[in-house]
Amino acid sequence: MDKMLKQYLDRAKEIIGERTASEIAHDNAVVEALNSGLSLEAALSMAGQHHPGEAIQWDSSNISDIAAHYDYLKAYDQIMKKLQMKNRN
């Protein structure tokens, strides 16, 4: 299982890429807003207000790609939280 977990984490790092602390804060704000029920557009707008240097511009040509990115980050966040809880026990 440890080998599979390492492979997942390595692949997730490739997909997510290197991010600055500010980018992580923005992404976390978007994910939190999505988890609270906001639409993607509202979540991006709210996160952009709190982290203007990381604000994302979207339109009909790129919103699907942005949605896929944040769907992945939401799932990744849930997995990481479960792993942290498992490691506490």
> Rounded to an integer, what distance in angstroms lies between the CA atom of residue 8 and that of residue 1?
11
Q: What is the per-residue pLDDT for 2?
A: 86
Q: Look at residue 1 and tell me whether its pLDDT is greater than 70.
A: no
pLDDT score recorded for residue 38: 97
Instruction: Judge if pTM exceeds 0.85.
Output: yes
Residue-wise pLDDT tens digits, 19-65: 999 999 999 999 999 999 999 999 999 999 999 999 999 999 999 99
More confident residue, 67 or 5: 67
What is the pLDDT, as a whole number, of residue 84?
86
User: What's the helix, strand, coil split of the chain in %, to 5?
Assistant: 80, 0, 20
Whether the per-residue pLDDT at 85 is higher than 90: the answer is no
And the tokens for 70?
A: 């944040």
